[in-house]
């Protein structure tokens, strides 16, 4: 059920915000082809598409019907805009003022380290 709902929402989104809405005009294309086919029985689908979708824009008696075919003309606004309202200034106020503590540390002069101190590390373990 979730998959079906996802497909329906995706389809609704794509049709409303992209040029896929032109596919909804596909029955008009078939109807227009049937009208041309009734006038000329030798007309194939390739010749029909070449006549109506080539670079040359032919103005004939059925020009208004030609402009209703899918992908023949643009249908208004098709871009999707996502806008997020962001405030002009953004700040966070602390409830109490925070004071940084300064800690003074004594850094000894480490130029001279006694050998007794270093040798005390390497003592064998003592028994209690």
Measured at the CA of 27, the angle between CA 68 and CA 14, to 5 degrees, comes to 80
**Confidence at residue 99, expressed as pLDDT on a 0 to 100 scale:** 72
Residue 2 sits in which domain range? Answer: 1-95
**Confidence at residue 33, expressed as pLDDT on a 0 to 100 scale:** 92
**Confidence at residue 37, expressed as pLDDT on a 0 to 100 scale:** 92
**Confidence at residue 81, expressed as pLDDT on a 0 to 100 scale:** 58
Query: Does 8 map to a domain?
Result: yes
Query: Does 119 map to a domain?
Result: no
Structural domain count of the chain: 1
Sequence-ordered list of residues with C-beta below 8 angstroms from that of 99, at least 6 positions apart, any chain: none
Residues of the chain with pLDDT under 50: none
Query: Does 122 map to a domain?
Result: no
**Confidence at residue 104, expressed as pLDDT on a 0 to 100 scale:** 77
* Integer Cα distance of 61 and 30 in angstroms: 18
Is 0.85 topped by the overall pTM?
Answer: no
Sequence-ordered list of residues with C-beta below 8 angstroms from that of 32, at least 6 positions apart, any chain: 52, 62, 65, 66, 69
């Amino acid at each position: 059920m979730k998959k079906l709902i996802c497909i329906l929402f995706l389809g609704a989104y794509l049709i409303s915000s992209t040029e896929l809405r032109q596919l909804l005009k596909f029955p008009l294309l078939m109807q227009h082809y049937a009208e041309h086919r009734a006038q000329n029985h030798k007309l194939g689908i390739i010749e029909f598409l070449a006549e109506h979708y080539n670079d040359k824009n032919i103005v004939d008696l059925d020009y208004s019907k030609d402009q209703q075919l899918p992908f023949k003309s643009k249908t208004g606004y098709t871009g999707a805009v996502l806008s997020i309202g962001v405030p002009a200034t953004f700040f966070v106020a602390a409830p109490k003022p925070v004071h940084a503590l300064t800690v003074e540390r004594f850094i000894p002069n480490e130029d001279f380290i006694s050998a007794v101190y270093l040798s005390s590390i390497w003592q064998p373990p003592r028994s209690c």
